Amino acid sequence: MLGGGLLAFLVIPVVALFVTGSPTDWLAGIRHPITAPAMLLSLTTTALSLGVLVVFGTPLAWWLGRSEARIARLIETAIQLPIVVPPAVAGLALLLAFGRRGLLGSLLQGAGIDIAFSTIAVVLAQVFVAAPFYIQAATTAFAGIDENLLVVARTLGARPASVLFRIALPLARRGLIAGAALAWARALGEFGATLMFAGNLQGKTQTLPLAVYTALESDVRAAQALAVILVVIALLIIVFLRPRRGRQRR
Amino acid sequence: MNRFVIAALVVFGVASTSRAEEPRDLTVFAAASLREAFEDLAKTFEARSPGVKVHLNLAGSQELRTQIENGARADVFASADQKHMAALVKAKLVTAPRVFARNTPVVIVPKDNPAKVGSFAELAKAKKIVIGVPEVPIGTYTLEILEKSGGDFKQKVLANVASRELNVRQVLAKVSLGEADAGIVYRTDAMASKDKVVIIEIPAKVNVVAEYPVAVLSKAPEAAAARAFVDLLLSADGQKRLAASGFVAP
Amino acid sequence: MTVLTANIALRAGALDLQVELEVDERGLVIVGPNGAGKTSVLLTMVGARRPSRGRIAIAGDVVFDSAGGIDQPTEDRGLAYLPQSYALFPHLTAAENVAFGLRGPRAERIHKARALLGRLGVSSVADRHPGALSGGEQQRVALARAMAPAPRALLLDEPLAALDVESRHSVRTFLVGELRAQQRPFIVILHDRDDVRAFAAPIAVIERGRVVQRGELTALETSPASAFVARLLGAARPDAS
């Protein structure tokens, strides 16, 4: 009963998003001039963010998952911070770190790199907020691998990197994919940090969530259509990438 | 969410007025740019009308309008532009709006003025300009001003726009933080951040004037107090306080 | 002739390990109660645990020496390790498991792996994943995998413990025969009197991180140094009814 009530509460807003609009509205929304650039930008930036996360996050998670050092546990906890920090605060923190007058601002300016208001800023904001989801899932997946498998692989002549690629990655695959899906969804929905750090410019920093908010100011129907697109994409991610329940092959 | 809070406050208010000498609650919905002035004026009003407690709900005019359209209980609505007020008049939700203040856009630059913008005519010297999206009033006004300036001024300025922010306070924030070289905001916003930004006047012949109308709601629970609050806004004391925030008399 | 020496001091959690072991061409059987540190000895020898001090040498080649600053990585030590769980790679077939430690083109490695599985009498399971194998089959595949790269010595952790009573006897006969045929030095951890007898090798008894007795089976049987040894091997078994 109680669970059903919560379920209804969770489902009704999503249903409302769909049933209170008509297919004509959605078509108009898809054709709205704001939609195509935002969609393209969202897809490219989230793909980039995910790439960065997988390339840099996987080795980090590998270390976190296998190390017994106290510092590893400490880092594992600290990495969760972006989950609880409000996105606007994350955006401000990024600005204060990488902005023109930020901590590293003069360094970056000296190197001719200007991050604020650029597409790179969008990617950084997404990486910042999505990283914990991937790293946590990957760490758990790596930590769950039987140590004996890794030791045996080494005794059979495999170097550590080879053990990672031939044993650990295939065995942690489910966890890694589930983490990547979550991280991608989070990056796709990222709004607050992007708005703060990257601004809102069509084709450059205006991602789908920013487009929804922008459209909301003038045309609620267009905003709703964009929101429907966003929800459909998110649903597809969840359906295709969610970890399959059932027997773990062991 | 604000609506529920207000509703709760109103219910509480009704319950408590059932006994004659209990304080009464006056709910004022006001555009966010009125914050500092209205907070002071609310105190003045409470001091002059014993037994009345003023509750301020400060948000974007569009948001407040949506709340009123959806049945939020309020006594006074002070809007940052005529469009939203006109919509509520048409819906017979408010009556007899009166302009109580005017606001004019200005150019702001960070205190150290990195792009060395000396006048409005030199605005295009700024390599990173931040303005409002056309969907919000400040964005509309900005485009009008650029249009009126003639020649290729508009193209030159728009070519350097780094971000179109979703509200005027975000334009202010980006310039205050030094991330942007220049921005266009209301004079009142600029004055609220005087220690971080420098105001550059926009010539009167190209500038626009934003009119702030105020009205008592048709179903105001405290209609008499609401009318008294509007009178305070239009009085010499009210105008003096508004002028201190940068507003111009109607 | 001594082929393998290990002198290890290791502290890990509650375990305080200080052992000195010598293995000759006949191999070595390690026995001891649970938690005595037997598995830790093997893990330290292969390089998966780092002793605080000590020296490990295989056929004169020093692979670890805390005084000399030598610490060869696991993959260079040439020691095969067979954990109690066998630790077959679950995502690879039996043949791929055996081929893992071989060098050369894939087709060639798989071919060699199949041949090795055939020699151990389990060629029929070459294309199956470990999850679909019986305990005895898993043990043979794991042994084939351990022997495939021709290691300098084999370290086996309770290789018979995971087997049921029926397969235990035949697998034991096979394993002992195989180790004799290989003439490869080995260390095997055991916990069963019959198993110890079958391996017929010198024995070291480890209790609470220390070697409490070492010698031939007959010597341990006649004069056990501790209650544990007496229970496991002694003629008089106090707990036997």
Mean pLDDT of C92-115: 95
Instruction: Check CB contact under 8 Å for A199 and B136.
Output: no
Is the pLDDT assigned to residue A219 strictly greater than 50? Answer: yes
Assign C29 to helix, strand or coil. Answer: strand
Amino acid identity for residue B222 in this structure: E
Is the pLDDT assigned to residue B16 strictly greater than 50? Answer: no
Tokens of B55: 């509750």
Assign A80 to helix, strand or coil. Answer: coil
* Closest residue in chain B to residue A105, using alpha carbons only: B179
3-state per-residue secondary structure call for chain B: CHHHHHHHHHHHHHHHHCCCCCCEEEEEEEEHHHHHHHHHHHHHHHHHCCCEEEEEEEECHHHHHHHHHCCCCCCEEECCCHHHHHHHHHCCCEEEEEEEEEECEEEEEECCCCCCCCCHHHHHHCCCEEEECCCCHHHHHHHHHHHHCCCCHHHHHHHCEEEEECCHHHHHHHHHCCCCCEEEEEHHHHHHCCCCEEEECCCCCCCCCEEEEEEEECCCCCHHHHHHHHHHHHCHHHHHHHHHCCCECC
* Subunits with 3+ C-beta pairs closer than 8 A to C: A
- The per-residue pLDDT for B18 is 43
Q: Which residues fall within 8 angstroms of residue C165, CB to CB, at 6 or more apart?
A: none
Q: What band does A238 get if pLDDT is binned at 50, 70 and 90? A: confident
pLDDT in tens, C10-64: 988 888 999 999 998 889 999 999 989 999 999 999 999 999 999 999 988 999 9
Distance from CA of A249 to the nearest CA of B (A): 48
Of chain B, the percentage scoring pLDDT greater than 70 comes to 91
Alpha carbons A51 and A45: distance in angstroms, whole number: 10
Q: What band does A223 get if pLDDT is binned at 50, 70 and 90? A: confident
CB-CB neighbours of A33 under 10 Å? 9
Mean pLDDT of B143-160: 93
Mean pLDDT of B171-193: 91
Alpha carbons B183 and B192: distance in angstroms, whole number: 15
Task: Assess whether chains B and A touch, using the rule of 3 or more C-beta pairs within 8 angstroms.
Answer: yes
Is the pLDDT assigned to residue C146 strictly greater than 80? Answer: yes
pLDDT in tens, A192-215: 999 888 989 888 999 999 998 888
Burial per residue of A130-141, b for 16 or more beta-carbon CB atoms within 10 angstroms, e otherwise: bbbbbbbbbbbb
User: Quick check: pTM over 0.90?
Assistant: no
Chain A contacts of C148, Cβ < 8 Å? 156
Instruction: Check CB contact under 8 Å for B62 and A195.
Output: no
Among C65, C75, C68, CA closest to C5: C65
B31 close to B38: Cβ distance less than 8 angstroms = no
Interchain CB contact of A146 with C (< 8 Å): yes
Alpha carbons C236 and A198: distance in angstroms, whole number: 81
Query: What angle is formed at CA B222 by the lines to CA B217 and CA B223, rounded to 5 degrees?
Result: 55
Tokens of A20: 């209170």
Q: What band does A242 get if pLDDT is binned at 50, 70 and 90? A: low
CB-CB neighbours of B1 under 10 Å? 5
Closest Cβ opposite residue C87 in set A148, A157, A166: A148
Alpha carbons B44 and A185: distance in angstroms, whole number: 50
- The per-residue pLDDT for B225 is 94
pLDDT in tens, B100-116: 999 999 999 999 999 99
The neighbouring-strand residues paired with B26 are B54
Q: What band does A136 get if pLDDT is binned at 50, 70 and 90? A: very high
Mean pLDDT of A181-188: 91
Closest Cβ opposite residue B179 in set A99, A217, A218: A99
- The per-residue pLDDT for C174 is 85
Is the pLDDT assigned to residue B94 strictly greater than 50? Answer: yes
Alpha carbons C34 and C191: distance in angstroms, whole number: 9
Interchain CB contact of A149 with C (< 8 Å): yes
Q: What band does B5 get if pLDDT is binned at 50, 70 and 90? A: very low
Mean pLDDT of A39-53: 95
Chain B contacts of A100, Cβ < 8 Å? 178-179
Interchain CB contact of A200 with B (< 8 Å): yes
- The per-residue pLDDT for B130 is 95
Closest Cβ opposite residue C89 in set A155, A159, A167: A167
Q: What band does C72 get if pLDDT is binned at 50, 70 and 90? A: very high
ipTM for the predicted complex = 0.90
Interchain CB contact of A69 with C (< 8 Å): no
Phi-psi region of A241 (alpha: psi -120 to 50; beta: other; left: phi over 0): alpha
Lowest mean pLDDT segment, chosen from B59-63, B170-174, C63-67: B59-63
Q: Is A78 exposed, middle or buried (0-12, 13-18, 19+ CB in 10 A)?
A: exposed
Mean pLDDT of B197-215: 94
- The per-residue pLDDT for C121 is 86
The pairing of beta strand C61-65 with beta strand C53-58: antiparallel
